[in-house]
Structure 1
């Protein structure tokens, strides 16, 4: 019997997430509070035991975005929903979800199944960067591949879903990143994690310590200091920065839900803040979320100091994985994002490729119109 689906309370949603080893930080109820331009709803899948008692077996945070001048919505489940993607027939999860969202006025559904298809070890990525013939990470033979992911992709396509991402020339998707870099912590001591850093990384961490760089945890009142560095980073790395209000809203929403959900770290040297970063936690999964650094006094290695402090704290709190989030897929030396890839590869972790975001157009005309509208913004 297919699971039943209905709207659930924040408390039910959080309880289910807490019962799982991890879930994306974009699939907890508070993430809806971070996105005021979207209307949020928590949904849950239920089955019944032999006595007829309901048991929640899946959950998702849905964000509804209205199309201009029409009371119809894009329904978006970023890095979700949180279901057992390999444990039941796919239609049992998706059919009731689509029916529910259609009844809510959705003209299109977008979701990002948190399913990893392939992984590349740090050494493999490093060798690929050095190989002039390797143009993109996707074309490099992976160290690990999950055949279940390939079957899931084929089934999504058979059911009418389409890959929804449109990658830029830098290899980043328009939605959530398809390629990320993660450092596994499970079963490893902190010394083993430190030993996995490459030689340059270990040297830089020692340089920061020797130079007297101090990494401290900040609070809400320190967000402006972080934001000043973030704006500087945006100008240097050529991306459009979010407003300060976004980070203030994120801090308030996530920490109200769980004081451990978001942390802010700042690297200080001789009374000046030179680098800062935010860290998010759900279950045993920890993310380096946003980072920022000054263009001056880089010789004291404040960014390495911040990262190592966050990794150390995450390990101490029992994290199974430290996630450095998105990386570029391109390995072209001329690409300005290759330096960020090298920085993350230096942690000794693994690159991972998710199966990407998927669209199901319910009303194809409105879906196309909305896609064109977003492209022209």
Structure 2
């Protein structure tokens, strides 16, 4: 830990050291976080190099006696014409959210960011809010229905407590309590639990359509291999095909994915992998996977418009799921899903596809914002919100 400020927790005046940390100290702390409690890939130091147009800070805190108990990758976006910044901690900070005295580290963190020129801060608290099993979601599917219409199988008491604490301290949930919110990261994700399960258990967890499609891919001769940086242009070409077919636009360039692949793997070899599905020598689908400690994510998928009947994407996901299990991951995270349960809604197709893996829809706490104290900061925050609304 280097150049740390010494402050005090307001609740019981325990000494707290908080300030900049080196990438080495930061990564060493992340290595102590295991399983489902590990850090998001959006909070590793190298992610700052992926985000063009943002500066960053690596911040850590812990007791005066030494050591770290929490860290944060803070992305900073300048407000034009000022020396003020919007501070964004994507899916962070990495901290003990079960600590009953979160003010003991959260308030000093805000004070540090305020002194660094932040006019507002957005965070993504770690605890989950609610979970729905695949069978529950399928049973709740119907015209004009949404996840909020279906009773969750599980409500996380820690997530509920953290949300109440943040509201009591003046934080605002982005997009309010609307189901889809206004978060930069997905509020609803899809996860397949892996702990305590065998490959046979995972196979049994797939629905009949998924098992049939994986078998069809095998019989058709679909081959799954790991690609390299040299294959990213083909991945990107297929991604543009996918965006056009499915009616969405991620707005990312080939250079973005090349930079992401380079910096994540420079930090930790194998952190980002590119999986390819070939049929008769042609790449028909390509998916990226990211690993941090004991957590694994399916990040971005792309596929061709032709020969879809050989089911290359199902074969890819099955291989990635098995690889995540072999790595000892607690959960395989397939990232975002929409909240619509209406089968006539175009967006529902993505949810339906992921449901076939037999996992769970997880509602995160979403993202939360607060302006820094001061008239100028509040004015800048209102202007910034207006800018985002126009976008």
TM tier, shorter chain? over 0.9
Distance 1:200 1:256 in 2: 39
Moved over 6 A (4+): 166-169
Residue 65 (str. 1) matches residue 105 (str. 2): no
Structure 1 stretch displaced more, 342-351 or 229-238: 229-238
Query: Contact between 1:284 and 1:318, CA under 8 Å: does it hold in 2?
Result: yes
Find the counterpart in structure 2 of residue 153 from structure 1: 163
Spell out, residue by residue over 1:318-348, the C-alpha distance to the aligned partner (whole angstroms, 9 max, x if none): 1111000000011122321111101100000
1:172 CA drift (Å): 6.6
Query: Contact between 2:287 and 2:298, CA under 8 Å: does it hold in 1?
Result: yes
Query: Contact between 1:33 and 1:253, CA under 8 Å: does it hold in 2?
Result: yes
Spell out, residue by residue over 1:287-336, the C-alpha distance to the aligned partner (whole angstroms, 9 max, x if none): 00000011111110000011011111111111111000000011122321
Distance 1:3 1:20 in 2: 20
- The structure 1 residue matched to 2:146, chosen from 136, 158, 166, is 136
Alignment of 1:345-360 (within 5 A): 345-360=355-370
Distance 2:264 2:175 in 1: 27
TM-score w.r.t. structure 1 length? 0.95
Alignment of 1:261-280 (within 5 A): 261-280=271-290
TM-score w.r.t. structure 2 length? 0.92
- The structure 2 residue matched to 1:316, chosen from 318, 326, 330, is 326
Distance 1:32 1:46 in 2: 23
- The structure 1 residue matched to 2:113, chosen from 81, 86, 101, is 101
RMSD of aligned Cα (Å): 1.5
1:166 CA drift (Å): 7.0
| Residues 1:200 and 1:167: Cα distance change in structure 2 (over 3 Å) | farther
- The structure 1 residue matched to 2:258, chosen from 218, 228, 248, is 248
1:2 CA drift (Å): 5.4
Residue 376 (str. 1) matches residue 385 (str. 2): no
1:55 CA drift (Å): 1.4
Q: Could you list the runs of 5+ residues in structure 2 that have no partner in the other structure?
A: 1-13
Aligned length: 370
Spell out, residue by residue over 1:227-275, the C-alpha distance to the aligned partner (whole angstroms, 9 max, x if none): 0000011112222231000000000110000012100001000111111
Distance 1:2 1:179 in 2: 37
Distance 2:177 2:227 in 1: 35
Paired residue secondary structure (1:54): coil
Find the counterpart in structure 2 of residue 257 from structure 1: 267
Distance 2:121 2:19 in 1: 17
1:167 CA drift (Å): 9.1
